[in-house]
Structure 1
Amino acid sequence: MTNLIPSLLIATAISLVLQTNYRLSPELGVGEIGLALIIVYAIARCFATPARTPSLREHPLPLLSLLHLLAIVLPVTALNALYDTYGIAFRDLLAYLLCALTIFALATQAERTRQIALLTLVITLALVSLQYLFGDVSVWYATTRFTGGARNPNQLALYLVCLILITAIHVTRPLLRTLCFSLLVFFGLASQSDAFLAYLALTVGVLLLSLIVPSRFFMLVAPATLMLALLLGLWFLTDIASSLGRQWSLADQGGSRLTLYINGLQAWLDNPLTFVLGNGAGNFSGLHGPFQGWEAHNTPIDILTVGGLLGLLAIYFFPVKCAIDVYRLDQRLVFACTAGLIGFTFFHFVARHPIFWVTLFVLYQHIKEQREVAPACAV
C-alpha cells in the first residue's frame, strides 16, 4: 500500500489540473499546487540520493525540454520583455516550467510510470463521470457542450485524447480497454469539440491504413490516402462536410481561426531572431494583427511564435519519433493514437498542459521497455 501512495498523489495532481473551473485563481489550482509539491520532493530526493538523478541518456525528454526552456525560452522572454513586446507573459513561462519539471519528477519515479498512468486514467474518468452526472451549469459550455470541469471543451478533449493513448498502451484486458475507450469517446462527443472529432477521424483512418497497407509502403501511401479521403469526403459527403463546418464555427474562436493563424505566423516572422528563437513565453496572435495577446489555438503556430524553429523542433521531435518507433514495433493501435494526438495539436495549444507531456513520457517509457523486452524474447 505504501508503494501505491506516491503514484496516487502524482496521478491525483495530474487529474485535478483539468478542473480549471474550480481553481483558486485563474492560473493556480489544487492540481498545480500538488504538482509543485511533488516536484520539490523529487528534486530534494535527487540531492539526497544523487544516484537516482535522471541521466540524459536514460531520460532525454524531460532533460532536453528543461534545457530548451532555461537556455532559450527564458533568455528570449527576458530580452523581449525589455522592449515591452505585447503578449509577453511570465505566467506562461511558469506553466512551461511546471510541465518540464513534472516530467522530470516522473523520471525520478520511472519504475512507477505504468502505475501512475493507470491511476491518472481511473481518477480522471471518475472525476469527469461525476461532473457529467452531478455537475452544475459550470461544467457545460454554452449550456450544450460538456467540459468536465475544464474551462472549455477543447481542454477536456486534450485529456481524453491523451487518456485514449494511455489506454491503448497500458490497458491490456479487452473488456476493460473497450469500456475505457467507450467512456472516453462518449465524453469527447458530449464536449462537441471539433478538435476531438478531427482526432477521431484521423486516428481511425490511420489505424485502418496501418492494418491494410504493407509496412514498406505505409509512409508513402498513408499521407496520400488520407488527403484523398478528405477531398472525397468534402466533395461527395456534403452533409458530413456541413456538420463539420458547423462544429468549426461553434468552436472557440471558430470564425476567426484563420485570422489567428495568419497573425500568429506574422508574429513568428517579425524579424530574423523571432524566426529562429521566437518571441519568448506569451501569446502573440490577435484578431486584428499580431502581438495582441491571443493564442492562435494551433500548437505549431503558437510554438513558432514562442520558440521559433528551434521550439518547433523541441516540441515535435519526440512525438514524431515515438510514432515512428511504435509503428516499427508493430503496435498499430498505439501508433494510430499517437498520430491522432499529433493531429490534435493542430487544433489546440497543448504545450502548457502537463497531461500532454506526461502522456509523451508514458509513451517514451513504453517504447523503451518494449525495446528492452524484444532482445530478451529473441534470446
Structure 2
Amino acid sequence: MTWLLAAGLAVYPSTQLRLGGLPLGPGELLLLAWLGLAALRLTLAGGAAFGPALARISLFWLTLALALCAGAAVGFAREPFQYWSGIAHDVMAYTLLASLACMMAIDLAEPARRRRAIRRAAALGAGSMLLQMADAWGPLALPGVDPWFYDRLRGWSLDPNQLGFFALFVALLAVHLAETAPRLREALAMLPLLGVALTTGLLTRSDTFVVALMAAGSLYLMLKSVTWLRDVPMGPTLRGGVAALGLLSLPLAAASAAPFLSAAVERVEQTSAEVYAEDGQGDLRFHLWAEAWEKGLWSGLIGYGPGPHLTSKSWKQPPPYKFEAHNTSLDLLTQGGIVATSAFLLLCLTTVGAAWRARLAALAALVAGLAVFSMFHFVVRHPLFWFGVAVCLLEATRPARAGHAAAGEIRS
C-alpha cells in the first residue's frame, strides 16, 4: 500500500495531467485511494495509538479549523461579496489534506513501513522527473502537455516552481535515505536519485528552488558539523580527522575568499534586481503581500475565512473573483488571522527543532527547505509538505536511534 501513497505523491505535482480543468487529477485520485485503503486497514487493525506526531498534526488542523470558522464569521459580516468557488475549493482541500496528514502520521508509525514509503516516494519521484525530462526533449511526448515555460522546465506541472518544489522534496529524501542507510552500497544507490532531482530543479530555473536548496544545505551542514563535534572524539578516526581539518581550514578559507566577496555581493545584487524586474513580478508580489497584510489588520487579526481575499491585483477581474498572496503565512493571516499564522509557524519551528534534537540533519533540512518555499507558495495545501512533516515528526520521536548512529559509524 505504500506504493500507492508514493505514486500519489510522485504524480500529484503533475497538474497538467488533470483533464478538462477538473480540480482532481491522477495524483489526487491515487492519494484518495490510499487514504481509503489506509482507513480500512486501520479499522480492521482495531485503531492506532495517538502518538506525538499525530498529536502535533491534529492540534494544528484543529487550531486552523477553529481560526477559519472565526474568520468566516468576520468575512460574512464585513466583506462586500463572497467568492464561493474559492471558499468551496479551500474547504475541500483542507479536509483532504487534514485527513491525509493525520493518516500519514498513523499509517507510517512503524519504522520499517515508513522507510519503505520514503524510499518508494524518492524512487518514483525521480522516475517521474526522468519521464518529464524525456517529454521535454522529445523521446516521450504526451499530448496536451507543454513541458516548457519559455526556457524554464516545468514538466507536467503548470508552473516551474511547482516542479522545483517537488525536486527539492525528492533530493532531500534521497539525502536522508543515504544518511540512514545501513550499508554503504545502499547509500550510494541514492546518488542517482539525488542527481536527477538536483538537475531537474536547476532546469526549472526557479529562484525559490535555489534559495531553498541553499538554506536547506546550510542547515544540513551545520547540524552535521555540530553532531560530529559533539559525538566524535578528535582522535585517529575519519570523522575526527575531517572535523579537525575543517576547523583548521576555516581561517584560511575565509582569508582566501575575502577578495571575491565584493564581486559575489555585486553579482547577487544584480541577479536579484533582474529577477525582481522580470515581468514586473517583484512589484506585483510585494503589492499582493502588502494587501494581504492590510487585509489581516482590517479583520482585527481574525481573518475572513477560507478562500482567497485579495482584490487589487495588477490585472483585475470583476467580482467575485479574488486572488491569493502566494505566501503561506500571509494567506493564512487573511483566512484565519494571527492564530492560523502562528500555528503554521509554530508547526514548522517545532518540527525542525524536533529533527535537530534527534540529529536528523536531512529531515530538518527538508522541512526548512519546504518552509522557505512557503514564502512564495501556499504549501499547506501540498501533500508533499505534510508527508515531510509527518515523516520528520515520526522519525524524531522514534524511541531508538542507536541503529542509525551505528550505521553511520560503519560507513565512516
State whether TM-score is above 0.5. Answer: yes
Q: Which residue of 2 aligns with 1:237?
A: 265
Asked if the contact 2:12–2:28 (Cα under 8 Å) also holds between the matched residues in 1, the reply is: yes
Asked if the contact 2:10–2:124 (Cα under 8 Å) also holds between the matched residues in 1, the reply is: yes
Asked if the contact 1:233–1:241 (Cα under 8 Å) also holds between the matched residues in 2, the reply is: no
Which of 197, 202, 205 is the matching residue for 1:189?
202
Distance 2:281 2:93 in 1: 22
Long gaps (5+) in structure 2: 231-256, 407-412
TM-score, normalising length: structure 1: 0.81
Long gaps (5+) in structure 1: 1-5, 217-228
Distance 1:375 1:204 in 2: 24
Instruction: Trace 1:63-142 onto structure 2 (pairs within 5 A).
Output: 63-74=58-69, 76-77=71-72, 80-81=75-76, 85-87=81-83, 88-110=86-108, 111=110, 112-135=113-136, 136=141, 138-142=145-149
Larger RCO of the pair (alpha carbons < 8 Å, separation 6+): 2
CA positional deviation for 1:256: 0.9
Q: Which residue of 2 aligns with 1:151?
A: 158
Structure 1's 91 and 198: CA in aligned 2 closer, same or farther, altered over 3 A? same
Q: Which residue of 2 aligns with 1:27?
A: 23
Which of 169, 179, 198 is the matching residue for 2:211?
198
Instruction: Trace 1:40-59 onto structure 2 (pairs within 5 A).
Output: 40-49=36-45, 51-55=46-50, 57=52, 59=54
Distance 1:168 1:296 in 2: 32
CA positional deviation for 1:309: 1.6
Which of 329, 353, 362 is the matching residue for 2:382?
353
Higher mean displacement: 257-266 or 337-346:
337-346
TM-score, normalising length: structure 2: 0.75
Matched length: 353
Q: 1:245-280, CA deviations, whole angstroms, 9 ceiling, x for partnerless residues?
A: 3334448944411111101111111122xx0x3222
Q: 1:338-375, CA deviations, whole angstroms, 9 ceiling, x for partnerless residues?
A: 33332222122211111111111111111122x43359
Q: Which residue of 2 aligns with 1:340?
A: 369
Structure 1's 233 and 263: CA in aligned 2 closer, same or farther, altered over 3 A? farther
Asked if the contact 2:126–2:170 (Cα under 8 Å) also holds between the matched residues in 1, the reply is: no
CA positional deviation for 1:78: 6.6
**Larger-Rg structure:** 2
Q: 1:71-114, CA deviations, whole angstroms, 9 ceiling, x for partnerless residues?
A: 33256437635755545521012112111111222233222222
Helix, strand or coil at the partner of 1:351: helix
Report the identity percentage: 23
Higher mean displacement: 279-288 or 350-359:
279-288
Q: Which residue of 2 aligns with 1:284?
A: 309
Q: Which residue of 1 aligns with 2:238?
A: none
CA RMSD of aligned residues (A): 3.3
Q: Which residue of 1 aligns with 2:237?
A: none
Asked if the contact 2:67–2:337 (Cα under 8 Å) also holds between the matched residues in 1, the reply is: no
